[in-house]
Amino acid sequence: MTPQRLAQRAYQSNATPIRTPRGAEYEVFARVTHRMAGAARKGKTGFAALAEAIHENRRLWTTLALSVADRDNALPDDLRARLFYLAEFTEAHSRKVLRGKAPVAPLVEVNTAIMRGLRKEGMEP
C-alpha cells in the first residue's frame, strides 16, 4: 500500500453511526421481520427459513418479555403489560404458524407496529 493510501485511510472519518438503544431495537425488529416476511413469500420452499426466522423472533420476544417483567424496568406499567401480552401472543401464534395452522402475517404486523412505535419514540424531543 502506498504512503498516500495509508494517510488517506488514517484520516478517513469513522463511518460507524452512533446508535441509540431504541435504534438498535428497531434494527433487530426490522431484521427479523424482514426475514419472516421474505421466507413466507417463498411458500413451502421457504419453510426452513421461516422456521429459523420465527425462532429468532421468539427469542427476541422472550428477551423483551423478561425485560418488561423486571421490576426495575422504567417503562410505564400499562405499556409493560401490553408488551408482555404481545410476547405471549407471539409465542402462541408462532406455534400455529409452524404447524401450518395460521399465517405469518399477524407476527409481521405486530413487529411492524412495534417498529413504528420505536421510530416515533426516537423522533420525539
For residue 124, what pLDDT is reported? 44
Could you tell me where the beta strands, DSSP code E, fall in the chain? Answer: none
Q: pLDDT digit string (tens) for 63-121?
A: 999 999 999 999 999 999 999 999 999 999 999 999 999 999 999 999 999 999 998 85
C-alpha closest to that of 46 among 54, 38, 57, 55 = 38
| pTM, 2 dp | 0.80
Q: How confident is the model at residue 4 (pLDDT cuts 50, 70, 90)?
A: low
Cell (9 digits) for 72: 426495575
Q: Output the pLDDT for position 21.
A: 81
> What does the alpha-carbon distance between residue 71 and residue 2 come to, in Å, rounded to a whole number?
57
Query: CATH second-level architecture of 19-123?
Result: Up-down Bundle (1.20)
> What residue segments make up the domains of the chain, in order of their start?
19-123
Distance, CA of 106 to CA of 57 (rounded, Å): 13
